[in-house]
């Protein structure tokens, strides 16, 4: 069966429009280098399951020398805010046993409402002359995963259904003429 030019065009347009839905994955880490010389790197903290603990790890590195910053020279603290801007948590982080990162076990009581929230993670040396900050939003969800993942699958299925529908619409005249020739 000969493929219609309109079908090819429609196929490539739908493919082009659908590409951004699944092409851009977020990196697993977030990092920010500030002018104040500390690079703070944490596992990506975007989605968290409701009513569960979260063990936050933060690597703090001197951005000019590459040296690991420890609790001997600096401290880190985190602020969690709810949708209204009120504090959920404000706490200093401890230094873990392996000697390379700060950590904090954030209790499940801080993740009791499905909502968008914000965090600020800040590290300073004890003289408060050098430091770094990382901030952003995170979502507390039922599953700890993005609701967009389910939407993307739905969009892909709908897109495939639309492509098949257009294929059938474009193929009907050919099928009709083939059946007419048999009669």
| CA distance linking residue 181 with residue 183, whole number of Å | 6
Contact 53, 47 (CB under 8 A): no
Contact 78, 121 (CB under 8 A): yes
pTM of the predicted model as reported, rounded to 2 decimal places: 0.63
Contact 60, 100 (CB under 8 A): no
What pLDDT sits at residue 169? Answer: 75
Residues of the chain with pLDDT > 90, as a percent, come to 42
Structural element, H or E, at residue 181: helix 147-182
Beta bridge partners of 122: 77, 133
The full length of the chain comes to: 183
Structural element, H or E, at residue 19: helix 5-23
| CA distance linking residue 29 with residue 77, whole number of Å | 19
Q: In which band, very low, low, confident or very high, does the pLDDT at 129 lie, cut at 50, 70 and 90? A: confident
**Tens digit of each residue's pLDDT (9 = 90 or more) over 75-85:** 999 999 998 88
**Tens digit of each residue's pLDDT (9 = 90 or more) over 95-111:** 988 888 999 999 999 99
What pLDDT sits at residue 160? Answer: 86
Please give the C-alpha separations between residue 181 and each of 2, 114, 177, 178, in angstroms, as whole numbers.
Answer: 17, 62, 6, 5
pLDDT at 23 over 60: no
**Tens digit of each residue's pLDDT (9 = 90 or more) over 40-93:** 999 887 889 999 999 999 999 998 888 999 999 999 999 999 988 899 999 999
């Amino acid at each position: 069966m000969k493929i219609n030019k309109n079908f090819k065009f429609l196929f490539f347009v739908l493919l082009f429009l659908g590409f951004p839905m699944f092409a851009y994955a977020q990196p697993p880490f977030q990092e920010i280098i500030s002018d104040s010389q500390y690079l703070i790197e944490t596992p990506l903290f975007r989605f968290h399951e409701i009513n569960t603990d979260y063990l936050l790890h933060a690597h703090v590195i001197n951005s000019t020398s590459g040296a690991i910053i420890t609790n001997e020279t600096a401290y880190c603290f985190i602020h969690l805010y709810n949708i209204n801007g009120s504090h959920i948590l404000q706490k200093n982080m401890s230094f873990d046993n392996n000697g390379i990162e700060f950590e904090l076990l954030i209790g499940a009581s801080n993740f009791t409402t499905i909502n968008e929230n914000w965090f600020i993670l800040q590290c300073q040396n004890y003289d408060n002359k050098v430091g770094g900050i990382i901030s952003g939003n995170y979502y507390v969800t039922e599953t700890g995963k993005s609701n967009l993942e389910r939407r993307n699958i739905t969009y892909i299925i709908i897109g495939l259904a639309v492509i098949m529908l257009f294929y059938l619409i474009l193929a009907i005249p050919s099928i009709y003429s083939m059946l007419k020739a048999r009669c």
